[in-house]
Structures are given as C-alpha cells and as structure tokens.
Amino acid sequence: MTLMAQLVLLCLCASLLTEVAGVLQRSTSHAEAETTSGTAVSMGLELRVAEANKAVHKMAYFGQITVGDPPQEFTVVFDTGSANLIIPGSGCNTEACTSHRRFNMKASSTARRVNCDGQEVDADLADEITITFGTGEITGICVKDQICVGSACSQGDFISSLDETSQPFASFTFDGVLGLALPSMAQSKEFSMMSRMQSGSSLKKSLFSVFLSDSNEETSEVTFGAVKQEHMASEMFWVDVTGTSGYWEVRISDITIDSKAQLLCEDCRVAVDTGTSQLAGPSALMSSLRSRVDVKPDCSNYHSLPQLGFIIGGRILNLAPADYVDKMGQTCSISMMDLDVPPPAGPLFIFGIPFLQKYYTVYDPIASRVGFAVANHKGRTPEALLTFNPDLASAVAPTKPASFLSTLRANARAPLTAR
C-alpha cells in the first residue's frame, strides 16, 4: 500500500453517514446490555432515530466495545456493510472527534502502529489512510491492539482517525463503526473481525446473529457465537452468499406484491446491512416499485397498501406497509432510497433496518451463508413464512407452521403469540 492511500469505499454504511442532527432516543436498554453463556456473547444495542424531515427518519443501532489495555470504551455501530473498525484518535482535534470519545494510544500498554495493509513496520515509517465517504472523509493511522466485544477479546488492527470532517461526523451520537462484513472487504485479514472469528476464536460457534426491535419492551442485540431460538417465530432457512465483494449478499429471485411475482428481477442481489437505515436499490427498479406500490403522500391509501415481498431461497420475505412506509401523522413516504452501486459490486439492493426489524438474521462466515427467520417480537403475532411456488407464481402457505411453535413452547421458549 502506498503512503496516504486514497480509498473510495462504496460501503453500505453510507446512509448512516448522511445522518442528520436532532437525534431522538427511542430505546435504551442497558439493564441487560451484556450477557454471556459459555462462549457466546450477547451485546445489547441502543436505537437512535434522527428526523431527516417530517416523514423520513434515519435510524442507527449501536453498542459498546472496548479497545486497549487498560480498556477504553467506545460506542459503535455494528455494521454488516463495512469491514474495518474506525474510531476517533486522541490526535484528532476537529469538532467531529472532540465531541466523541477518542482512543489514546499512549494510554494502552498493548497498542502499536502498523501499516494500513496490516504489515508490521517501524512506527516512524508507518503509513496513513484516507477514507472518503459520500459527504465527508476520515484520515487516520492504523493500530494493532486488543479489541473486546463483551468478554470476547482478540488482537486486531483498526483505524484511529487523525482528522474527520464536521459533515457528517460531528452529528453522530456514536463514536465509530465496527465492520462485520466478510474479510475480503477489510483492509487486510488483520482488520477483519470475521477473520479473527474464524481463527483462534473461543466462541461456541464462528457466527453471529442480529435481533433488532423498535420497541421499548424488548432488547435489541447482536450475539456472537450462538443462534437464539427465542428470537425466532419461524424455522430458519439458509442462503449462500454470492459474489466476492465482502458484502453479506444473497440472490433475489423476484419481487412480489401481495405474494404475486412481478417479474422485475433477472439477476437481482441484495446485501443485508445493519448499517443502513432504509431499504435501497437500483434507481430504475426503485422507480418501478414506487409506482406499483403507490404510497400516497397524504397517507390516504395507507391501510390498503399491499405486502411487498422478496423471493429468497424459495421463500417470500414479506414487508407490511408499517415496515416499508415512513408515516408521520398524515404524511407518508416509502422507506426506499435509490442506490446505484456500479459493477462489479452492483447493481445491488440493500436490506437495511426496516427489513432487519422484521427478520432475525444469522451470519456464518465459515460456510459463507446468511440465515433468515421471522423475528419473534413481544406482544405481536408473527406472520407465517411463505414458500414460493414458481408454477403458480405465488405463495403457498406453510404446511406445518404449528410444529415449530409447539417445539419452542415445549422447551419453555418465549411465547410467540400476542398477549
């Protein structure tokens, strides 16, 4: 890597990097923020909502990590759409850094400089890196130190910023981003948490799962090392990751409206991204979807809007109007944004937070696959997971929906029906 390497990252956390000020706290659950069971670690996540305008909201879930010895604590977005850890450094004196916690390398007995390709180097010769996002950029140094998510700790490389532009970083309510994409997206394997998870990990299983809720009645969490059946209201099915970009990317066979195929997809792919606050996709397809769904700005047809579904792995993953429409009083806007990712990474759909609040997801870097199940939310009756019949070009109801629920109840799992 050359000195001051210029990287233009088309990372899927771009929507977070356009977050506006005026953040409203929607959910804070620290009483159960961290639990450990054997070698599985669950970290509670906090939801913040920023109002972009009277109908559109930007959302972010973030949690705690520590870096260094003795540990220094930071709040980060656990982002499946990027692959590096980026936190402010003590040498950064811009407003974007001083308004957040900064990593003090001199205060850590285990920290040392490395090159930004992960290679060891004399500290006086170490390079720097500049990362350009959509509306700003970060310049930083690369450091190796202990990184801990709860009680799960490992030595890893990360970026400690020397300079951050005020826009958009000064408005963030979190300190940094912990990338959880596949290793090929990281600066090198030493920067990749997924690589560390695969080699020398003490976790029960080399995978992680994400449960996101918009309710104060339950705790959103990311769990490393385990799949939590109490978060599932259906069976889980697995889909292989496609491509080599590093995104948790799977194929979409087609898009459905009220479970009927629309013949919109020839080679559609979607990246599952915890760091994106909306649904997103190629502008041409987004335009077609908007016209077919036809959300009225005055919400006059809100209660008659259709289910919007995506056929993945032979199942239809449906979103109800409440999942894909931003509704604020009598103002409605479809929660979909245009995102034209150029080849070879694109064209690409993005499943952001609205999708991830509806579906519990599991990420398996060893088998390179993503698991999907209907999320089990307290006080809500879950929808059935439908199987797509290509001969009928429509959905078929599951044949044994009760067996899964009965098994969970027999094992004293959390109730899955409204109460």
| Residue 79 falls in the annotated catalytic set | yes
For residue 52, which of 331, 288, 258 has the smallest C-alpha distance?
331
Query: What are the backbone dihedrals phi and psi of residue 408, each rounded to the nearest 5 degrees, phi first?
Result: -65, -45
Integer Cα distance of 166 and 138 in angstroms:
10
Q: Residue for token digits 């009965």? A: 406
10-residue mean pLDDT profile of the chain (419 residues): values are 33 36 34 48 83 52 95 95 94 92 97 88 81 81 94 92 86 90 92 83 86 92 95 96 92 93 88 90 91 94 96 95 90 89 85 94 96 94 85 54 34 33
Prior bond to 183 cis, omega within 30? Answer: no
The whole-angstrom separation of Cα 89 and Cα 108 is 12
Catalytic residue among 79, 163, 254, 326: 79
- Integer CA distances (angstroms), 129 to 79, 112, 114, 174, 401, in order: 20, 16, 12, 21, 52
Query: Where do runs of H (alpha helix) occur along 216-373?
Result: 283-293, 321-324, 353-358
- Please name the helix (run of DSSP H) or strand (run of DSSP E) that holds residue 194, with its range, or none: helix 193-198
Which pLDDT belongs to residue 342?
84
Specify the DSSP element, H or E, that contains 327: strand 325-328
What pLDDT score was predicted for residue 275? 87
Edge to edge, what strands does the sheet with 249-252 contain?
249-252, 268-272, 349-351, 279-281, 336-338
pLDDT of residue 134: 62
The answer, yes or no, to whether the previous bond of 168 is cis (omega within 30 of 0) is yes
pLDDT of residue 388: 86
Rounded Cα gap, residues 37 and 225, in angstroms: 10
Q: Give the pTM.
A: 0.83
pLDDT at residue 5, as a whole number: 33
Which residues, at least 6 apart from 181, have a Cβ–Cβ distance to it below 8 Å?
79, 80, 81, 82, 83, 194, 246, 247, 248
Rounded CA gap, 419 and 409, in Å? 14
Q: Which of 127, 163, 273, 364 is catalytic?
A: 273
pLDDT at res. 25: 34
Residue that the structure tokens 């997206």 belong to: 185
Residue indicated by tokens 């029906």: 417
Longest CA–CA separation in the chain, Å: 66
Length of the chain: 419
184: which 2 tokens? 């090929």
Return the number of other C-beta atoms located less than 10 Å from residue 258's C-beta.
12
The amino acid occupying position 364 is D
